[in-house]
Each structure stands twice: as structure tokens, then as C-alpha cells.
Amino acid sequence: SRAGAAAAVAPGLPPVEVYGVPAGLAERSALWAKPEVASALWAKLQGPSPPGRCLHEGLPLCALDNLVSAAEAAVLLAIAAFEAGRLAAKRQAADLPEGHPLVRRIRQRVADAFGMSAALLEPLRLVRYSKRADGFERHVDWTVDVHDPQLGLLGQRIATGLLYLTDIPEDVGGETDFPRLGLSVKPSVGR
């Protein structure tokens, strides 16, 4: 999800800090936000009743099981198959239609888990991998280029939610890795 608005950087002006990444320092460490931003998000995620089990103490990395049922996962997969019919075979992706009642309910559950308004969420996107070699290369989930026009339009992404719609058999891969934390999350329907 994205929150806030970014200030434009005009030629001749000093670098603008966007959620803790000063212009020119983005390449130094794209993973860290200002401590007060990270603390505020972490406090929301911990709250009086944590939304899930904590996977890591130093960063707000939590797992919520049963966010969707197996039946809801099947419906989302059917919607995405219809939406992605025109896409490439290797890695298929589809933005789920925000007007669909199930998509609206899931967006609200995600917003509730993050303690924010559903209006701040990006569209739900389903990505399907079909082969062992598919997957994302190592990356960060926020905009590190202060000149990126998306930053001015959407603000900085402050949290990422992943939802698995299928179980993955043992020893075939598919985990979401957090190499700096030494953690891997195995896909499980509804997590």
C-alpha cells in the first residue's frame, strides 16, 4: 500500500527526503525507512491484538493464516484466469477488478490487517508462476528513485501484503525469501 505524497525535486533544490531515502542515497540502502516511519507502521501491526504471528522482531514481518478460504482462493484464481487470458505464458499477472464483491471484501481484510483505509491500497494483483525458473529477482517493494513520477502520484509504498492462493508441494520452490533476515515463507492457501 502507498501513503503520503512526495515532493517534487526541481533542479537546483536540495535533495528531498522521501520516507527516509534522501535523493542520492537511495542506492546505499533501499530497505530502510526513517525509524519513526518504521516504528509507526510496526506499532500498527503489533497493536493491542497482533494481526498475525510475528516472523521477525526487527522488521514488521508478520504472517496471517486463513485471510481467505480455499473457496475464496478458487474464485480469485478463476477471476484472474479470465483477466489474464491475454498475457504471456511464463509469468501471468492480472489486476483483480476492484468492483467485484469478493475483491472488495479481501481488500478490506488486508486494510484491516495493516490498520489503514482500503482507499490507500493499490489494486490487488495476482501473479502466477508456472515453472521452477519463474519468480521475481531480488528487489525492494518501494520506490527508490525520487524522480519516479509514480512517487508523486501514489506516494511511497510503506507495506506489502502477499496472499498465497495455492499450496506448493515440497521441494519445488515457490517460497518468498527474505535473504537479509534469513527467512523463507512457504506458500499455503489463504496465508
* pTM summary value: 0.62
Average pLDDT over residues 63-69: 85
Residue 43 CA: distances (Å) to CA of 51, 54, 112, 127: 11, 12, 14, 30
Confidence of residue 72 (pLDDT cuts 50, 70, 90): very high
Confidence of residue 18 (pLDDT cuts 50, 70, 90): very low
Q: Quick check: is 190 in a domain?
A: no
Amino acid letter, residue 32: W
Distance CA 21, CA 69 (A): 38
Q: Quick check: is 191 in a domain?
A: no
Q: Is 44 helix (H, G, I), strand (E, B) or coil?
A: helix
pLDDT in the model for residue 52: 57
Confidence of residue 104 (pLDDT cuts 50, 70, 90): very high
Q: Quick check: is 19 in a domain?
A: yes
Count of CB atoms situated within 10 Å of the CB of 71:
9
Q: Quick check: is 131 in a domain?
A: yes
Host domain of residue 32: 2-185
Residue among 34, 32, 14 at smallest CA distance from 24: 14
Average pLDDT over residues 53-67: 68
- List phi, psi (to 5°) of 74: -65, -40
Q: Quick check: is 55 in a domain?
A: yes
CATH code for the domain in which residue 12 is found = 2.60.120
Q: Quick check: is 36 in a domain?
A: yes
User: Lowest mean pLDDT: which of 30-39, 89-98, 152-161, 165-174?
Assistant: 30-39
The listed range with the strongest mean pLDDT (33-37, 66-70, 114-118, 159-163) is 66-70
Torsion of Cα atoms, 103 then 109 then 114 then 116, to 10°: 80
Structure confidence by residue, pLDDT tens digits, 115-142: 888 888 888 888 776 655 556 666 667 6
Q: Quick check: is 176 in a domain?
A: yes
pLDDT in the model for residue 54: 58
pLDDT in the model for residue 120: 80
Total number of domains in the chain: 1
